[in-house]
Structure 1
Amino acid sequence: MNWTTFLADTMGRIGTLSKQAPGMFDGFNTMSQAAKRNGALDEKTKELIALGIAVSTRCDSCIGFHVQSLVRLGTTRQELCEALEMIGYMGGGPAIAYGAKALEAFDEFSAA
């Protein structure tokens, strides 16, 4: 999979939906900003948690978006792999398979 193209296509579909449901997206964006603000946990830690949920729920789009954020936040490949170990431990085989997708996305976004 080309993650960059996949996320661009996803954003196009989300843009179409947002025109039909702007109130929902306004609320979601407000919630996103509040959840990501630095507090007792920094944004990187919160994005690693979000990645764990994305892998566990098997959401390719979510994996892509959160990995992209983790790259932006300076996450190392080792940090990501250690998080994926914990995610795989808690989620078993399906989490390992989707964790491999997350690593693939990380490598693509890191190379860009």
Structure 2
Amino acid sequence: MSDSQAYPQLRNDVLRRMGELGRAVPGTMQGFQALHDAAVREGALSPKMKELIALGIAIAVHCEGCIACHVHDALQHGASREEIAETVGVAVMMGGGPSVVYGSMAMAAVEQFQGPK
């Protein structure tokens, strides 16, 4: 991926492809959506914290589409640029050098969703 990756567009593409997959395997995708909704629901952890955790995992497992979606959702749940940056730091600790690369992608996504600092 290059620095010119458009994360808002990537998120839209991921959601569109998930919709297409939902038409092909509706039961599976309905189950996945129910799992997602249950996992990020308010509980002992807030939805914001859960999205930050998901973002850290997305960075560590090198999923660009997941990064786009979870940066967006973390911001929607009130995460700050600083909270996302610290999440990237934890992902780097867990994932090493490759997480540095994918963590920098997450910060680029923040800029695209929020605008420059």
In the alignment, the residues of structure 1 paired with residue 42 and residue 15 of structure 2 have an alpha-carbon distance, to the nearest angstrom, of 26
SS at match of 2:92: helix
Percent identity (aligned): 39
- Give the structure with the larger helix fraction: 1
Corresponding residue to 2:88 among 84, 90, 93: 84
Residues of 2 paired with 1:90 and 1:57: CA distance?
A: 10
Runs of 4+ in 1 over 6 A off after TM superposition: none
What amino acid sits opposite 2:68 in the alignment? G
Count of aligned positions: 112
Aligned equivalents of 2:17 and 2:40: distance in 1? 24
**TM-score (ref. length: structure 2):** 0.90
User: Is 1:6 equivalent to 2:31 in the alignment?
Assistant: no
Report the alpha carbon displacement of residue 70 of structure 1 after superposing the two structures with TM: 0.9
1:57 aligns with 2:61: yes
Deviation at 1:88, TM superposition (A): 0.7
Question: Which residue of structure 1 lines up, in the alignment, with residue 29 of structure 2?
Answer: 25
5+ residue gaps, structure 1, are none
Give the TM-score normalised by the residue count of structure 1: 0.93
